[in-house]
Amino acid sequence: MIATEPGTLRMTFSREPVVGPASPTLTFGNKVIPSATYSETNGTAVITVNAAVPVIATFGNEGRTLIVSPVSTPSQTTATTSTPTTAPAQPTPAPAPPPIPSVAPRRYFAVVDASHGGDDHGEALSTTLAEKDVTVVLARSLRRELESRGITTLVLRDSDANLPVDQRAVFANADHAAIYIAVHATSSGHGVRVYTALLPYGEDDRGPFRAWTTAQHPALPLSQSTASAVASELQKRQLTVRTLSAALRPLNNVMGPAFAIEVAPQGSDVSQLTAPDYQQLVTSAVATAVAGVRDQLGSAP
């Protein structure tokens, strides 16, 4: 993502040679991210961003842009990023060790994402029913089922709002959610499909920063085993189920375990998607499966 939105600071680095700012202290006149300091030692540039709220750094523009943006985690005032760069005319010293990223506490065990929303209607399930309206109801139902099993849950997009896919992943990553579940609905086929990320052709991680498009890579085995547990539980409830990979954002951008469900009617009647008993049948199966693997998910980094 190469965009500057309110509350997002974008900084571009040139690797060779290192070009520093005119002043080592940068002030932005912003209450959220008021200032940053820059220092350079033997070709290693360090930027310390002082922020009133926790911030997260991600790479964009094929690694040429570092995006620092606030996240909604409990109070933490400073995040430090270190970008190793090499000055061509200088001897190459041992690079400074990267700072240990501070881990914000987990507020929610599960993040449930009602896909689409706002201008993005998703599939037109019928002439009067949009996918975005079904996903939000399913997401709320899943939250109820998870919370009834003692799992703290955040529903992303709890209203008809536009929420970019990058932002959805940022929320899940910033919260260090133990499990991210995206909810989709469809009129085609029958039952439920459970998807894990089909990772795109690999981008390399850069030092302590993970490549955005393949951030899911380390967590993929746990995502797949969780998806299998969900599929197994759905089958126990006599639901038609299928487990597949899908190039479905933001699954590949989420750093922790993540899967998506796509709910279709059992028969040919699309209105079943809005039936509370059918919704509960699906969401209770998903919640039971997640609760069953809670220990494995909770111990994941």
Partner 1 sequence: MKLEEIPRHLLIGFAILLAATLGLSVYAWHMRKTAVAPPAAVVDTRPLAPPVAGPSERVVLFIAHDDDGTLRGESAQIPMPSGRQQRAEELLRALLSRYLDKDSPHRLGAGADIRSVYLVDPGVAVIDLNSAFADTHRSGVLVEQLTVASLIQTISVNTPNLLKVKILVDGKDRETLAGHADLSSYYDVAAVNQLATQLQAGQ
250 cis-preceded (ω within 30 degrees of 0): yes
In terms of Cα–Cα distance, which of 138, 248, 254 is closest to 192? 138
Among the listed residues 20, 21, 202, 298, the single contact to partner 1 using CB under 8 A: 202
Query: Would you tell me how many other CB atoms lie within 10 Å of the CB of residue 140?
Result: 18
Among the listed residues 21, 24, 200, 207, the single contact to partner 1 using CB under 8 A: 200
Q: Cα 168 from chain centroid?
A: 5
* Contact status: 129 vs partner 1 (CB under 8 A): no
36 vs 251, beta carbon nearer partner 1: 251
53 vs 198, beta carbon nearer partner 1: 198
Q: Is 227 helix (H, G, I), strand (E, B) or coil?
A: helix
Contact letters for partner 1, residues 67-106 (x by CB under 8 A): ----------------------------------------
- Name residues contacting partner 1, limited to 4-63 (CB under 8 A): none
* Contact status: 259 vs partner 1 (CB under 8 A): no
95/38 Cα distance (integer angstroms): 17
Among the listed residues 193, 209, 216, 297, the single contact to partner 1 using CB under 8 A: 193
Among the listed residues 86, 186, 235, 280, the single contact to partner 1 using CB under 8 A: 186
* Contact status: 157 vs partner 1 (CB under 8 A): no
Contacts of residues 34-43 at CB distance under 8 Å and 24 or more positions apart, as own/partner, are 36/9, 41/96, 42/90, 42/93, 43/18, 43/84, 43/85, 43/86, 43/87, 43/90, 43/92, 43/93
- Number of amino acids touching partner 1 (CB under 8 A): 34
Q: Which part of the chain contacts partner 1 (CB under 8 A), choosing from 24-32, 57-65, 185-193, 222-230?
A: 185-193
Q: Cα 214 from chain centroid?
A: 12
Among the listed residues 138, 199, 219, 255, the single contact to partner 1 using CB under 8 A: 199
- State the nearest-atom distance from the C-beta of 269 to partner 1, in Å: 17
Angle at 240 between CA 239 and CA 244, to 5 degrees: 125
SS (H, E, C) 93-112: CCCCCCCCCCCCCCCCCEEE
Q: Site residues (CB under 8 A) for partner 1? A: 116, 120, 122-124, 131, 184, 186-191, 193, 195, 198-202, 213, 240-249, 252, 260, 262
